[in-house]
Every structure is written in structure tokens, then in C-alpha cells.
Structure 1
Amino acid sequence: MARGLKAGIIGTVFIGMVGVAGYGAYNIYSGLDGGGSGSAPATTTVRDDSPLTAKDVTHTAADFLAAWSSGDDQAAAKLTDSVQTATAALAEFKAKGSISKVTATATPSDNATDATSAAGPAGMTVSYTVRATISYENLAPQIWTYGSTLTVGRNTVGDPAVKWAPSVMEPDLKEGQSVVTGLATAPQLDLVDRHGRTMTAEQYPGLTDVFADLRKRYADAHLGGSPGIETYVAADDGSAVKTLYVVKPGKNAQLKTTLDAGIQTAAENAVKKYGQSGVTALDTSTGRILAMAANPPGGTNYALSLQPPGSTFKIVTATALMLAPPSAEYTHGISPSVKSQCYNGYAAAGGKKYENVTRDNPGATFSWDFANSCNTGFIRLSKYLDSGTLTKVGRDYFGLAGDSRPWYTGTGTTDGSIPGGTGDEMTSEMIGQGQVLMNTLNMASVAATVRSGQFQQPSILQDKDLIENRQTIHATPLPGSVRQNLMSMMHTTAVSGTARGLLTGVASPYGAKTGSAEENKDDLPTGWFTAYSGHVAAAAMVVQGDHGNKSAGPIVADILRAAS
């Protein structure tokens, strides 16, 4: 090599290293130049840890993909930073996956050739497409196409190399797993509605987590069907983790749900209008879940998340008050026509003051207080309840017993709770605040119980025998007069109370109750609404949606109209 050229190379290396290595860079320079007074031999090998250029990355990735595509697994493995592991893995990929040919092609955007573009310290990622030919036994070859990525860094001696990981072969593959082609361990599972229509999470994103739960719970149930031939990710014990490609379809098994695709569509569209919202609809005569949707999909399921239900809980409180024994003041018991004044700031004896969102009404009746959601009209009657009344009425008539008597609907639901209490806790629970917690399934069931007169244990499966731990919950029917009074007050609420104008166009009979729950005075309250129409009941919740007639009410109304 000409001395001038040699000096130029050395100078370039030296300049690039001075800022990094200091005194060490001087020794490296001396070694490269062959001079210097140190004792280090001139042939010392220095590991190259400089950033890779885009050309290094492009050429390394291209060579690896070309070797893999040619079928030379050993040559491909030698271009990785873990030769033995990669050699074995590439061979296993072909053998267990019945892969007869691989064609891997880098995407055009990654074919950069600018040698001045350097990769970061972790390397540079290259995307590519794989066309794998699956040749399984005597079946016709199938082409399986998917995308993946690899990262180019440096190996142990500093040369550019593909950083080996199972995901280089297939993006879902993790350590200890393999790609296998063979008979699926179980048939694919279709979820169908009550009319036999197949439903998917892609069609109904508000059911994303519910569908995932159903598939997991009933994957091993004997639901008919026959498995197909699939290429899938297998765990180290051989069990299927994820289907990647269906080589030969089997006959899908069917899990028959109680859902109604038409009503579910209305629910999906309704919750899209409000962030952090959820809704559930039930058949009032059977308790079957007709629709359930949450927005945003795939996150917190606001249809099933527990929150204070606000004034929608006054349905339970009104029931408790009307079941209270006669008193000196109300010799015939509490009925919709009894007087119970509505004044803002009223406090029960020894308790805190409560506020109303409605106007004062000195001539208010119990029915007026219900329809116009007057808190203090209810709290004025708190002396006719004791610390355990709401808990007992919720359990005995509405099936609300929390963890002590779970509903077991067929999917993962958490039942509401009414802990009960004295003083301010009891008066707060009367209006759906305090420690009372419900979800939209619970409150839809409360409205359904009013409509049918009898609690019907909710279920999302047509075959209730499939539901693990399912035990029939027996509840006391509502006395006829109490049921009629509740229906009358809920109808008044819908016609001239806080829900007026919302339920136009729904089937008769119909009734509603609005609510709002304030958890933080700096935030808008959570809006609630529950109603029945014909033989369908629904409840919705919108976190920080303001009062229920503004947010949750329109959601329920859309569903009831769709079901009419």
C-alpha cells in the first residue's frame, strides 16, 4: 500500500477516535502506523464498535435474506450473531412447519444505500416480506405470506451481523416456541348470536374483551366441529398458542350466545359517540344478554366496570320505601302519592346536607321526587329504613348480592354491591352514592326486574349448562302493587320527568330513570340511564358525561328503538 494512502486511512481513523478514546486512540494509531515506542505488537486486532453505516446494514440483511431464500440455512446462520442457535432454529422452522421453500424480500424503503447514514447503538431494523411454501403430506402446496423484521448490529468480533431472535423467522415467535404445521388441537370456534349469525370482534369491537374471554373459557368445550390443518405457534409443551395460517379448514364449532347482532350494532354505534362509555341490554322475560358494548374497545370495559350508579339506584330505594311497614305518618305505607317535600340543602337528623339538581317543591310527592330526581325528597324518608334495608331489598328482590351470590353469566362479570350502613352512608346509598357500586349489566337487570316483576338471572350463553359454577339464583317476586307503582313512576319519568323526550319511538310499555354520580367535584359527574321498552331493558354509563339525560340517555334510547 502506498504510504500516502496508508497515512490517509490512519489519519481518518485517528481523527474519528480521538474524541472517544484519548490516550487509547494514540496507542491504536501507533499500532496502525507500526511506529511508537510502546511494546504493543503492530499486529494488535482492534474490535470495530463504530456505528454501522446504512450500506453495512443493507448488505448484511440482503445477504442473510438471500441465503435463507436459497435454502442454505448454514450460510444464513453464519450471518447472525448466534450461529449455532440460528442454524438449529432455521432447520426446525422448515421441518416442523413443513416449509419447503422460503422467499424473503426486503421492503424497498429499507434498501438505503447512503453510506453516511449510521445505525444507532442498538443496530438498524430492516423490514421484509416472507412467502413460505407449506407442503404438508399429500395436500397441495400453500403459500403463506407475512411480514417480519430483523435488526443488524455487530457480532462478538465486531462484524456486521443479524441479531438473532426467533421473531426473525416469524414475528409472533418467542423463545421456547416453534412453528408447527399439523392437525389443530381444537376446531376453530365461531361465536353466533341468538339467530345463528356469526359475530366477530372485528365486526363488533365493543365486544373485544368479551369475545376474547368467551373463546378462552370455552375453547375446550365439546361444541361440535372438527379441527383443520393449521400452521401455528406451539409452546414448548406442544400446545397451540396462535394460529398463523389455515392450510385446510376444518368445521368450526359454534358457541351459541344470547346476543342479537342487530341490537349489538345499535349499541356499537351509540357508544362511539361518547368516550369512556358502556351499555348492556337484556331480554326482560329471560335475563338473556342481547347486547353489550364499551368504548373505547379493548381497554377498560365500561359496560362492566363498577361505579356509583347515582339516582338510577333510586329504583331499589323506592322499592325498599314502598315495602316499609305502615307508620304513624303513613298509615297505609309509602306510596307514590305521599307528600315528601323537595328542598335543596335538607339534612336528615344529625346528618349532612344534600343538594338537588331540580327546583324546590314544597308540594312534592314521592312520585314527583322520583321522576324529577329530587335527592332530599328521598332522604326525608330515610327514617323508615334501617342500616341493612337496602342490602336486603337489593338481594331479595333484585338478585344483587355481590360476591356472596355471583350471577355467573358465562363471561367475566363483577356483580354490584350494596354494603349498607348508618347515618350519612345510608342516606348516600339511598341516592346511589356512598359505597354502592353497580355496572350497566346490574342496572339493566334492575329495570328488567321492574318490567317483568321477577328477577331473571342474566346469561350470555343459550346453553346455561356450559357455565361453570352456575347456580340458579332465586329472588322474591315484586309485590304486584309495588311493581305497578315502580312502572308508573318510571313511565312518568320518561314522559314528564328528567327523561322526557328521550324515548320517543320505542315500544310500549316503557319507563326510565336517570342518574349522575359525582366522584370528584372538579370533574363532570358520570352520567347514568336505565330504561325498559317492550321486553327489552338497557342501562348505560358515560364517565364524566354530565347528567344521564345528556349522555347515557341517548345511548339507551338508540338501543331500545333498534329493539322495538
Structure 2
Amino acid sequence: MRDSQKMAVIGGVAAAVVGLTGAGVWAFVGNDDEGGDTKGSVAADGKAPREVKTGPLSASEVRSGAKEFLGAWKSGDLKKAADRTDDSEAAAKALADFRSKGHAASVDATPQAAKGEDVPFALTARISYGKQKAVLNYGSSLHVVRDKSSGEPVVEWKPSVLHPQLKKGQSIRTDKAGTPPVRAVDRNGSPLSKDEHPTLGDVIDDLGRRYGDKTEGSAGLQTRIVDAKGKTQGPVLKQLSRPKPGELKTTIDAKAQSAAEDAVKGKAKASVVAVKPSTGEILAVANSPATGFNSALRGSLAPGSTMKIVTSAMLLDKGLASPGRAHPCPKYASYGGWKFQNLDKFDIKGGTFSQSFARSCNTAFITQAKKLKDDDLTKEARDVFGIGLNWKTGTGTFDGSVPVQSDAQMASSLIGQGGVRMNPLTMASVSATVKDGSFKQPYIVSPSLDKRTLAKAPRTMKPQVNKDLKGLMRTTATSGTAAGALRGLSGDVGGKTGSAEVDNQKKPNAWFTAYRNDAAAAAVVPASGHGGDNAGPIVRKVLEAAG
């Protein structure tokens, strides 16, 4: 092409641009056949160039932008509706989720008078979940903007367009409202309400979470706002059907439970548990105050001299003690650099092991430390009494700990100090093991409900050891430190007191554990003093009701 022809073409284009500046800005789409640098070119299809509008939206544009979006949404054309926003990908997902996960079968959206570029609208969503139908009515608002690419009016997409309470990362979901609630009943079918038995409140709630879906109850259906993990955020938008509680049978004995609650009432931080030795069923759980931390099942405290039951079983098994045999009980005994003493520094000259157990002589046990291995007590507690095994009671529990210790700490553990940690549940189980002769893991809901496997102790107490240990606990209940609390209680009775020292605490924690017939119980009253005086009456009252 000659230079004069080139100039004519270029000049013509230039003239066209100049001639159109008054009508707005135009975009040119195409290519330069000659490879030149052209900032504007003719349209690819050879048609007239397309105008991209800029500047503020007119009132009619705001109306049309809102109308096209809401109309497409109402008609069910979610792709078209999403395309009428400034973020079609996010809008498409949110609208689709509302239909599929929110179960919004259809919507009816009616725009109202615009306020500038904001358009409020009324929405009616028809929710359909299985046989359940509901109508969800609410108002929302959208904001119309000019699309940067096309210049057309579109909806500025944000979650609140779908619902005014929606935030980023949230969605609307219609489904079952968690697990069905439970109506807990005791072993005989009597209701166990949180109003009547507030100390069981956290246990009943926990049982509901664990076993609600294993009852014949129903959770009910809800439309609600959830986060990315499905967790409910904010209020329920629509309740399609009400939840129906399912009956959950527990091992609790309502009579024993009421007695336990009365027994701990007014005693600061007191707690008690009762179990059935022949089965391991938990009969009662009570704490004071009734609400708050459940120390009866989940506490972790040094058990003091009640631990001597386990230590005695070990000594009897090893032949280091025998009820009627002479056994040392001096005022003091040293081991591992520590000097131990008895309460009020008493001693028993020429006494037997039975007398030492009945009077809770500390030094009778400390003197045997030199004959033991560091892990002997740990093994006895775990292998015979099930302490420290993984109990599956049906609710959250702390299952005791008897760690391997050495030197003075090992000696301390023999009398329930050092690193030994228990609670009323585990100590009630210790007494129950003595009464039955073998460990039966405690539980509050039958394992048949969820097919869980209960913990089993590796070995059973030797018959002679069991006989001797029962005799020791019986003597303690009739003429020893437990006699004051248990005297006159009929049936096959045995008990043990305990007082656990705590650093920077004026009075020790009072412990008491005992059995009567086919019931065993244990209680602790922190910072109260002697076990027989403070925890003993609690246990007696429970055993009277349960045994």
C-alpha cells in the first residue's frame, strides 16, 4: 500500500474517534492487519463498536438491575441470576446451596421502592424437607452497581443478599437439629429430670449428646444459619418440626440418687458416688453445689488412707502382711529421705496388721516400702482394681491414676498421697471390688446400647486375699476409724476412712468409702478434716438408701 493510502485510512479512523467523543467512550475490539499499534480498532464482527457506560446509575438502571436478578432467582434460573451479579461464581454457589442444602424448593422475591442504589425486597422461601413443608418469610436488601466490564447494572454480591443475617463463610441449611433429646429414666423407669435432680444435669446433657440418636426420639427439623463446619450460628430461622425426646434408661437408682443429693447438700464441694458391686452399675452421683464441675466423676484428688485398701491387697498378696499377724506400727517411719508419722503420733506396740488397718496406721505401710518395687502398687491398682484402665462408663469420667514413683514419693503413694489421684467414682469401685471379689467396670448406661466393651482387670483378687481384706474392712466398720459413721448399719458392711493432706490447706480432704450388701459408695469433702466425721455420714446415708 502506498503511503498516501495508509494516511487516508489512519486519518479516517482518527476522524471517527474525534467525531464520537461527545457521545461517550467507546471500546474497540479487533486487530490491525498491518501489525501497527492501534489503541482503538473496529469490532471483530465488523459491526459498530459497543458502548461501555460509566458514571452513576440512573433510577431506571437500579430498578432493572434488581428486577432482572430477582426475576431470574424467582423463576429458578440460578445461573442467570448469578450472572446478574458482580461475582457470578460466589452467587451461583450460594444460591445453589440455598436450594439444595437449605431445601428452598422455590422462592418469591418482590422488590420494593429503591433508596438510591439500594433495593429492599420481600422474600418468601418454600422449604421442603421430606414430608415436612414450611414457608420462610423475611426481608433483605441488595445494592446495584455498574459492572466494570459491561457497564450494565448488576447486583453487588454479598451473603446478606441471600439473608440479612448471613456473613462470609456461612450458609443456610435445613436438616435435623443435632441429635434427638433424651428423657432419662432410672433403672426402674422413674423419670430423672434436671429440675428434680440438678446435680445430674451435666450427665444427662452428656448422655443426650452420646445416645440421643440411639433412642426412638427425633431431633426435629430446622432451617438455620451454619458456618463452614456446619455449626449453628445465630437464631433458628424456621422450626419445621419439634424434637421428640427418646427414653434413655440409666443405671441410676432414684431413691439412692435423692439420698446422695440430700447428703452432700450444704457441704462445700462435697461429692459422692454409689455403685453396684455385682455389676458395676452406677447407682447415684451427687455434687455440692449441684451445678458446676462434676468432681464425683471427673475429680482428681489424692485419696489419702482410703488407698490403703489397694495397698493392703498388695501386701496380703505378697505375704508381707496378714490380718492376725504381728505388724509394726511405730510413731515414725522414714523412707527415701522423708520422715512419716501417724495422726497424733500414735503407735501400736505389739499390734497386728488388722489393728493397724482399723486405726489407719500410716507407718505400718511405710515400713514395707523397702520390700517393694517401684511399680508394685501401680500393677496392683491396675491389674486387680482396674484403676487407670480406659473405662467406658457411658459418660465422661476420670478413671484414677497410680503412677510409678520412687523413693519417698513411692512410700507416700502407699498411703494415698504422692502422685496417686482418685475421685468418689474410683474409690467406690475399689470398695465394690473388695465386696464382689473382682473388678466390675462402673457404667451408667448399659454397654448393650452402643456395643461398647467394658474394661476388664487382667487378674482377679485371690480368694484368701479377698477374704482377709473383707475382714479388715469389717473390723474398721465395727471398731475402727469408720465405726462412728457405720455403727448399727445392718447387713454385710465394711469401710475405710481417709484424710489427705494438701499443701497450703489448713484441714485435710476428708474421704470415706464403704460397702453394704450389693452397694458400695465413696465420698470426699475437701478441706474439712477427718474422713469418718465429715465424709462418713454422707456414705452412710447413701448406703442406707441403696444397700
Q: TM-score, normalised by structure 2?
A: 0.65
Q: Out of 207, 213, 216, which is 1:224 matched to?
A: 216
Summarize deviations over 1:241-285 as a string: whole Å, max 9, x none.
899898865542222221112111111111113111211110100
Do 2:221 and 2:243's aligned partners in 1 also have CA atoms closer than 8 Å? Answer: yes
Q: Are 2:384 and 1:392 aligned?
A: no
Shift of 1:411: 1.0
CA distance, structure 2, for counterparts of residue 537 and residue 175 of structure 1: 55
1:279 to 272, 281, 284: 272
- Stretches of 4+ aligned residues off by more than 3 angstroms: 94-98, 136-139, 173-187, 226-251, 348-351, 504-507
Aligned partner letter, 1:378: F
1:313 maps to a residue whose letter is M
Deviation at 1:239, TM superposition (A): 6.1
* Residue of structure 2 in register with 1:466 after alignment: 450
SS in 1 for 2:520: strand
**Are the counterparts in 2 of residues 190 and 252 from structure 1 also a CA contact under 8 Å?**
yes
The aligned counterpart of 2:370 is 383
1:291 aligns with 2:284: yes
Point out the more displaced range, 205-214 or 459-468.
459-468
Identity %: 42
Partners of 1:195 and 1:232 in 2: how far apart? 38
Note the C-alpha offset of 1:340.
Answer: 2.2
Deviation at 1:297, TM superposition (A): 2.9
Is the CA contact (8 Å cut-off) linking 2:279 and 2:440 kept in structure 1? yes
2:525 aligns to what? 542
Deviation readout 1:364-390 (Å, 9 max, x if unpaired): 211111111110122123233221110
CA distance in 2, matches of 1:407, 1:254: 24
Q: Is the 8 A contact 1:96 1:181 kept in 2?
A: no
The secondary structure found in structure 1 opposite 2:456 is: coil
Say if 1:372 and 1:498, in contact at 8 Å, map to a contact too: yes
**Aligned partners of 2:219 and 2:243 also within 8 Å:** yes
- State the partner residue of 1:449: 433
Match of residue 489, structure 1, among 453, 459, 472: 472
What's 2:306 paired with? 312
Q: Which amino acid aligns with 2:414?
A: M
Question: Structure 1: which 5+ runs fail to align?
Answer: 1-73, 79-83, 99-135, 140-165, 167-172, 326-332
Indicate conservation of the 8 Å contact 1:295/1:301, yes or no.
Answer: no
Q: Aligned-pair distance for 1:227?
A: 4.5
Is the alpha carbon distance of 1:519 and 1:237 closer, same or farther for their aligned partners in structure 2, counting shifts above 3 Å? closer
Aligned match of 1:556 in 510, 516, 539?
539
2:321 aligned with 1:334, yes or no? yes
CA distance in 1, matches of 2:267, 2:443: 26
Q: Is the 8 A contact 1:97 1:180 kept in 2?
A: no
Q: What is the letter of the counterpart of residue 321 of structure 2?
A: I
Alignment of 1:433-444 (within 5 A): 433-444=417-428
Superposed, 1:81-230 pairs within 5 Å as 184=177, 186-219=179-212, 221-228=213-220
Secondary structure of 2:459's partner? coil
Aligned pair in 2 of structure 1 residues 243, 287: CA closer, same or farther (>3 Å)? farther
Contact 1:397 1:454 in 2 (8 A): yes
Distance (Å, rounded) in 2 between the aligned partners of 1:552 and 1:97: 58
Question: 2:502·2:508 contact (CA, 8 Å) conserved in 1?
Answer: yes
Alignment of 1:515 with 2:498, yes or no, is yes
One-letter amino acid of the counterpart of residue 211, structure 1: I
Judged with a 3 Å threshold, the aligned counterparts in structure 2 of structure 1 residues 509 and 232 are, in CA distance, closer, same or farther, namely farther
How big is the shift at 1:507?
A: 4.4
Residue 187 to residue 382, structure 1, CA distance change in 2 (3 Å): closer
RMSD across aligned positions (CA) = 3.8
| Distance change >3 Å, CA 561–CA 298, structure 1 → 2 | same
Amino acid paired to 1:475: P
Partner in structure 2 of residue 424 of structure 1: 408
Q: Provide the residue aligned with 1:321 in structure 2.
A: 315
Alpha-carbon spacing, 1:187–1:181, altered in 2? closer, same or farther (3 Å): same
Change (3 A) 1:241 1:355: farther
The 8 Å contact of residues 225 and 234 in structure 2, kept in 1 or not, is answered as: yes
The offset of 1:487, in angstroms, is 0.9
- Alignment partners' CA distance in 1, 2:451 and 2:183: 17
Superposed CA offset, 1:158-217 (max 9, x none): xxxxxxxx9xxxxxx999989999875553322222112221222212122222222222
Residue aligned with 1:447, SS:
helix
Contact 1:358 1:374 in 2 (8 A): no
Distance in 1, Cα, partners of 2:357 & 2:167: 58
Task: Call closer, same or farther: CA 1:503–1:464 in 2, change over 3 Å.
Answer: farther
381-390 or 227-236: bigger deviation: 227-236
Contact 2:328 2:349 in 1 (8 A): yes
Structure 2 match to 1:479 = 462
TM-score by length of structure 1 reads 0.63
